[in-house]
Structures are given as C-alpha cells and as structure tokens.
Chain A
Amino acid sequence: MKIALALIVCLFAANGAFAQTLPDSIQEKAAVEHLMALLNLQPTDFTFRDDYSKIDSFRLETVSRLMREPYGMISFAEHTAGILAPDDLAATLEFVFDNLKETGRDLPPVDEKGADPDEKGTNLYYESLEFNRLLSTVKKAVNVMIIPAQRKAFERLNEYQRSFLITRFKDMILEDTADVSKPVDVLDSLQKLEEEYLKEFVTFGELIDQRKLVLAGATAASEVYNELMRFLRDLAEGGISYSQILKDTVVLPSRIGIAQYLGRQKGWVIGGTGDDVYRGEYEFIIDFGGNDRYELAYDPINPHPCIIIDVSGDDDYVAQSDFVFGSGCQSVGILIDLEGDDTYNARHFSCGSGYFGFGLLYDGGGNDKYLGDTHCQGAGVFGAGILIDKSGSDLYNAALFSQGVGITKGLGLLVDYSGNDNYIITGKYPETYGLAGNDQHFLSLSQGMGYGMRPYMSGGIGIIADFGGNDNYHADIFGQGCSYWWGLGMIYDDNGNDNYIAHQYAQGAGIHLSVGILFDRDGDDFRKGKGLMQGCGHDYGCGIIIDRFGNDIYQAHDLSQGAGQANGFGILIDDRGDDAYYVMSKSNTQGYGNPRRDFGSIGIFLDLSGTDRYDGNGGDNMYWKTDSKWGGGMDRWFLKEDTTDAAQ
C-alpha cells in the first residue's frame, strides 16, 4: 500500500503524468487510491472480518484471504489466467487442488499406500509396447491412486452417512419445478426439513477428506493424459496404425481367465476405429475413432472410477443416469475426447462434475454441444469439477449450478480456449422468493458462481475462464462472476466482443459475505441487466467488474455499476476505450453506497481513459460524489498510452 501511495505521489509530482510502462493493474490501483482519498476512504477499508458470521469448518483458504482483501480478486484473476492460459493440464489441476485448501488445514501428503492387490501381477494381451504402457498407466491410476483415495476419503463415515450423501445431500442441491405451486405450509415444512438435513450433515461433513480424492483424481488425470499424448506421438512417429495395435494380440492360454489380462478387465473395453456404441456402466473405455455413441450410466450406490478416452470422431454422449461424462461421485470420473464435433447430452451432475469426488471432461477440439441440467459443466461440491474445451465454437446449456460453480468445499472450473461460445442458463427453476420483484424469474446460480449453504456451510469457488472468441453469456438470477455466502465466483474472459445478459445478482457481484468478479480483458463488450450487478457488493460482500480494453456498453436499472449495499463494496473499473454507461436510477448507481447497521457501504466507479458517454451520475472527464454513504466516481485520463519503442 505504501509503495503504491509513494508511486502516486511521485507520479503526481511529475505533473500528473504516469510512467508509460507501468502495468495497468498498478495504474488501476493508483486510481482507486486517488479516488478513495477524495472520498476520505482508503483501499484498506476494503476488508471484511472472518467472524461476521460464525466460522464454520468448511471455509476455503482462498475465499478467506479474498474476504480479508477483496481488491485482491483482480490479481487473483490475473494469476488464475496466467496459470490456465498455456493449456497445461497438470498446472491447471494443481491450481484446482491448491485452491481447495481449507482454512487452517494443511495439504495432505501424496499417499500411494493401500494399492489394490491386483496391481501385483499383470498379463499382457496386446503386443504393442506403447499401448500397454498407456493401459498400465490407466490401471495404476485406477488401482493405485483412485481406489485407495476413494476408500480413505470416506473411511470415517458410517454406512448411513455415506448413503446420506447420495440421497438427502443430493436433494439439497437439486430444485423442484413444482415448488411454485405448493401451499405456504407445505413449502415451510419442506424448508424446515431441508434445514434439518443440512444441520445433520454439518455434524459429520468435516469427516470427509475429499481433497485426497481430488489429489488422486488430478494426479491420475494428468498421468493418463500425458501418457495418452505420448502414445499418440509414438504412433504417429512410428507409422503404426490403431488397427494394427488392436490386431496384434497374444495367444491366450486356456487355463487363465481373459479378465486377468491388461485391457480386458471387467468394466474395461477397448473400442475400434469404427462407429461404436457403448451402453451401461464402465470403468474404462478407449475408442480410437469413428462417430461413437456413449449411452452410459452410473450407480452412485457403488462408487467407482470411470475413465473414458475417445481419440477422434463426432461422438454422441447420451446419459442414461446422473453422474456421467467426466463425473466423479464419491470417486473419480475422467473423460478425454480429443477431436470431433461432439454432443454431450447429460442430466444432473455431469460433464465435469465433482460430487464428493473429482470429475474432468477434457475436449480437445471441435464445435461441441454440452447439454445438462443441474451441477454440470464444471461444477464441484466437496470436490472438483472441471470442463476444459480446447477449441471450436461451443454451446454450453444447463439450468442450475452449472458452468463454473463451486458449492461448499468445491471448485468448479470451465475453461474454453477459443471459438465463439454460447453459455446459456435456461429458465427452468422459478425463483419463488421475489428476489427480483414480482416478475417471474429463474434461479441460475451459474457461470462463475461460488455458493455456500447459509448459515451452516461456507461456499466454494466457481470459475469460467474463456481465452478467445466472441462469446454470449446468458443467465437470470445469480451468475456471471457472482458469489453467495463465503464463496468466490469469477469469470475471466480474455478477449473477443462479448455479451453478458443477466437479470440480478450478476456480472461482478458479491452477495451476503462473499466475493465475486467479472474480469473481461479485451474486446468491445455489452452488459445488460436489472440490478445488484456490474460491480455490486451486498451485505458484507464485494463485487468487482473490470474491463481493460475495448469500447464497452453497460446497461443496468439500479444498484449497479459500482454500488455497495448493506455494508458491501462495489467496484467498477474500465481502463481504456470509449465506453457508454446507462442506468435507470441515478439514486443508487455509479459510485453509490448505502447504510446498514448504522454505517455505510462503499461504491466506486472509475473510467480511466477514452471519450465516454453517461446516462446517470457520471460524466466524461469529471469527478463526482453521490449523495450516499459512501460512493463516487471519476472519469479522467488517468492512463497514458504506452508509446515507447518496447510497446511498439
């Protein structure tokens, strides 16, 4: 802080001219300090106590840290982007694991003890060294890493508690479209019942050591992926065909069962290069080509690992149950589809879902369609759910708790590297509390959403990172870099001209003791919604919206664009470009804070360059202070263009 302040002093001493090579983040911070000083505030005012609510044992360290210093969300987002951008799966998985660390708990050691005895002996069925190496890696992942971790993660739970996870806890996540028509006493009973479930779970929830399973899943996924890449490389270099590998097999002695041979175990299937159909429940599938159809199911009563590798082809994945397609339910699910325009038609807890486990869906290319309902497409609760799409213009369509969502002790991550993508949360589950007034709206709780179960369990971390293309984000209530109850929600969109549409609690919103950020680095973007968005913090929450480049348009009705409510902090920062800001209500937008608990909130609005247009409190090339407690804004040429040779 002192360094930054010293920088301001030095820079202002130089006639207000900023050093031209300073990173934007430094200049933004200087601008924040500058504006806050004019409001008799200082950046260290942006902090929340750990104990505004009872501290539970489910709080994640990253969330705790960012609650203490919410402005740190900007550097966290940049740091996250720096790790994810190179498309290094191992680094991505390490990031996921690191951010699932709980407050006050150390990392568990890597533990390979307790391997399945089956690991001792292996008979080879295929003659290809390369293929056997890949199969051995999968076998090791299943038997040495995942199954022992699966055992240890839940070893302290009794049978009733284990069944609770796949019955009552699941019911707490899922919504019912019929709620809207139930009478008040029935709804009240259901809510009370749900609360009793939650209280019951809290009594044993901390006995679950899901990080062991996440670590095992991450390590297994990384090793299988690396070995797969090596296998494909070796094949390409050696001019070896898939069909040759599949044909070259040993002569089986009659007295040994086929299931004892590597690649022929129960639940394993080695597909061919044609159009194949897989039906039922599997532990491992590898398919070398063709347009395949996967009609898969998973029985959560018997948790087991599931690893699927599809090398190429336009494939149809059609779920026959919940918990499929890179879904880990009390176990690990990994799906790697390297090529083709694929369709993932799934239900709940699918397509990169970690439900008391680890789920990874890695799609290496093609224009893909991801369809699901609840807790899918990068969603984690007591675990990690990851969806990585390397290229192509994709459609992500779901209803609730999807597309980068972390619920308690969970991290959900959706990374899309390129293509013009559509992220759609459909209106399926009506919001019945009137959060958005009397009009009919729908719960989304999606798209970079961190969610906790108030007031018993702190939330998780939900992230969408999109590194290219012109993207559309569409949600309704709660989403798009939003958080609730000790959670962290984030969207990082690196470039492209993007559209963000949501109704409420969205686009950089921290709601009820939580932190949310929407960071769009580049492109001419459009954002629209009603309220509590575009940099809004509510009830000890902090919401940040930051846009570094491009000519952007912001539209909102109220409590938006740098608005703090009920002791929350709202921050809007737009660095460059000619932007337009429109609001319906001037009384609580564009640098506004309102009082609660006898003191104020903070809302700040900064546009640091460009010729901008306002309908609201702000104006081009001016400072303003709103009649509120406390807030204001500035639109000043605070940034200098970098015209140095180095920049050129």
Chain B
Amino acid sequence: MRRNKKTMGTVLFLAVLLVGAMCGQCRARSETDKKVDSLFIIASSGEIKYRDMVAPAMDSLVAMGKPAVPRLLELYDTQVARERHALNTILEKIGHDAVPYLIKALNTTDVEKLSRLCYTLGNIKDSAAVDALLKKSGHDDWGVRSNAVTALGQIGDKKGAENVIRALQDTVETVRKSAAVAAGRMMLKEAVKPLVHMLGDKYYGPRMAAADALLKMPDFAAHIISDSLHSSNELLGNLGITLLGQIGGDAAAYRVGLELESQSPIRRALAAEAIYNSNSSLGCSFIEILIGAETDSTVLFFMNRVLEKYAP
C-alpha cells in the first residue's frame, strides 16, 4: 500500500535508481534480457486493465524459447505470488528446452526456490529430470521432498517408484500426501498395501489422496480394502467402506452390507451410503431386512435413500 505523496517523477527516479543498483550486481543485461523483462512485466501484471495483454505477453516469452530461460530463471527468486505463477506457466510452456537450465538451477541451497523448481519440472513432465529429482526426494526440507515426489509422479517414470513408496512413510503429512498422489498416478501395485494403511492416516490430506490413488487401481485394491475394514483404526475401516461403495459392484455391496450390523452408527450410515453409491441392488436387500430394527435417525436417513433409489 502506498500513497502518492511524492511526485510521480520522484518515484520513478527512485525506481530507476533501484533497478540500476540491482542490475549493477548482476551480469550485463543483453537485448534478450531487456525484451524478457519488458514482456514479463506485462505477463505477470495483475491489473484489470492490462488483463487482455497478459496472455499475448506470455505467448511471446514462450515463443522466445531457450534464449529466454536464463533470464526467466534469474527472475525466479521473486517473492510475488503473481510473478511466480507467471514464471511457472511460461517455463512449463517452453517445456523441454527449459529442462537443462532448471536441472542446473537445482544446485541452489535456497529450499523455497528448490521446491518450486521441482514443481516446475514436474509440470513439464520430462523424464530427463528424473535422476535429479530422485536426489531431491530425500532432501531435508519437507517442501522439497514433497514437490520432488509429486514431480516423479507426474513424469511417471518407474525409476521413481522406490522413492515414491518410501515417501509414503514420511513423517510429514504433506509428503505422504504427495507420495500417495504419485503412487496413484504411476499406478504402483506394490503401493496398494501401504495406501490402504494410509486410509487411516491421522490427517485428511494423505488419507483422501490414498483413497483417490486406490480408486485408480480398483482391481488390486478392493480385496485388500475388504480385508482391512475391521482394522483397529476406525478411520481406515470407515473410509474403506466409502471406497468400496465407489468401486461398486455386487461384491463390494455385499461386503459393505455386512457392516450394517456394526455397533457404530456412523459406520452403519457409511455402509448404507456405500450401498447407495455401489449401483448394486444386492445391498438393498440388506437394508430391507435391517431397516425395521434400526433406531438411529442418521442411519435411517441413509437407508431410506437406498430404498428410494432401488425400491421406490
């Protein structure tokens, strides 16, 4: 926030001095750099009145390709979220040509920058970055680990599988979440058991990411989930029931139907909802048998929904 108490000339003079001082510390600016800078001001502008110019400016930078990358990476240190977003978008669109520069930039000790570089590499999805990302997937900083694992998942190269599975056990929930997402993207069958275990994670990020990942591998996941419904971790069983409902089919409906006799009203309600979602009328017969004995209003609400769907 500012107030224009000074004259515009004074402000501009200060700005020129500032930019001059900053540039004095850097390498000499080439014509390319100057072009990148002027386009980037527009490409990263958030002002309403310049909104129509943002996309063309980005496109121009992308069209410059490789020569623009060194200067764009110099601008990468910015703390302005809008500029960071613009940089990421431009580098992603430049794609393969930017990868060697981004890999080289991974040598930085600035963990925040490192984390963002991994993110950009992941979005470019170039397998040339896998080896470099594998090294970063064990970094001390959880943000770097998280984005490195995410990037491995986005690239999808099986070389990353071991590191991704290891990250499922990370102490930081955000890294576990990223690992679960990566495992789903890579369709890692060997990750199914730890992913089922993760359905009971104490934080929703990994828990729900594991559920999404398992839904991508239903044939491998369904029976392991079924076997785990009576885990001592109630969260695991409850989410397992919901997942089986989403996987759907008669087998799943039958298995969750058995949970309608659970002592837990929440579990019974989730079972009824899973039957509703399973698109199997088999589960409906469980409801018809048990609804008369049910006293919990929440469970009855979900049971009645099933009956309305299958036996209107």
Contact = CB atoms under 8 A, between A and B. Distances in A.
Interface of A: 12, 15-16, 34, 37-38, 40-42, 44-45, 47, 49, 51, 54, 170-176, 178-179, 182, 184-196, 400-401, 432-434, 438, 454-456, 598-600, 602, 622-623, 625, 629-630, 636
Interface stretch (B23-31, B43-51, B127-135): B43-51
Contacts of A454: 81
Nearest to B181: A598
27 contacts: A12-B296, A16-B297, A44-B203, A172-B1, A172-B2, A173-B1, A176-B4, A184-B45, A184-B50, A184-B53, A186-B11, A189-B12, A190-B11, A191-B80, A192-B15, A192-B18, A192-B19, A401-B1, A432-B48, A432-B49, A433-B46, A434-B47, A434-B51, A598-B177, A598-B209, A602-B204, A623-B298
Contact of A40 (B202, B239, B295): B239
Given A12-B296, A190-B2, A184 B42 contact: yes
A622 B301 contact: yes
B91 to A, nearest CB: 18
Given A16-B296, A175-B2, A194-B2, A623 B302 contact: yes
A172 B205 CA distance: 37
Given A37-B238, A54-B112, A193 B18 contact: yes
B208 A599 contact: yes
A456 B38 CA distance: 26
Contacts of B11: 186, 189-190, 193
Contacts of A174: 1-3
Interface in B68-100: 79-81
Interface stretch (B189-197, B219-227, B265-273): B265-273
B14 interface: yes
A40 B298 CA distance: 15
Contacts of B269: 38
Contacts of A432: 46-49
The 8 tightest CB contacts between A and B, nearest first, are A174-B3, A189-B15, A176-B4, A45-B204, A434-B48, A433-B46, A598-B181, A171-B2
B178 interface: yes
B5 interface: yes
Q: Is the interface of B mostly helix, strand, loop or mixed?
A: helix
Contacts of A16: 296-298
A602 B53 CA distance: 35
Given A188-B45, A599-B177, A40 B79 contact: no
A182 B7 CA distance: 13
A40 B2 contact: no
B204 A600 contact: yes
Nearest to A512: B81
Given A44-B202, A599-B208, 10 more contacts: A174-B2, A175-B3, A176-B3, A184-B42, A190-B11, A192-B18, A599-B181, A600-B204, A623-B298, A623-B302
A40 B207 contact: yes
Given A174-B2, A433-B48, A438-B48, A38 B298 contact: yes
A387 B256 CA distance: 59
A188 B48 contact: no
B281 interface: no
Contacts of A401: 1
B46 A434 contact: yes
Given A184-B41, A455-B79, A196 B181 contact: no
A42 B49 CA distance: 44
Question: A174, A456, A630: which has the most chain B beta carbons within 10 Å?
Answer: A174
A190 B15 contact: yes
Nearest to A401: B1
A437 to B, nearest CB: 9
Nearest to B269: A38
Interface string B181-219: 100000000000000000000111101110100000000
Contacts of B48: 432-434, 438
A195 B46 CA distance: 16
Contacts of B49: 432
Nearest to B205: A599
A187 B178 CA distance: 38
Nearest to B207: A40
Contact of B14 (A37, A175, A186, A193): A193
Contact of B208 (A170, A456, A629): A629
A45 B203 CA distance: 5
Contact of B266 (A38, A54, A191, A625): A38
A400 B2 CA distance: 12
Nearest to B241: A40
A261 B22 CA distance: 58
A187 B50 CA distance: 11
Contact of A184 (B47, B238, B265, B270): B47
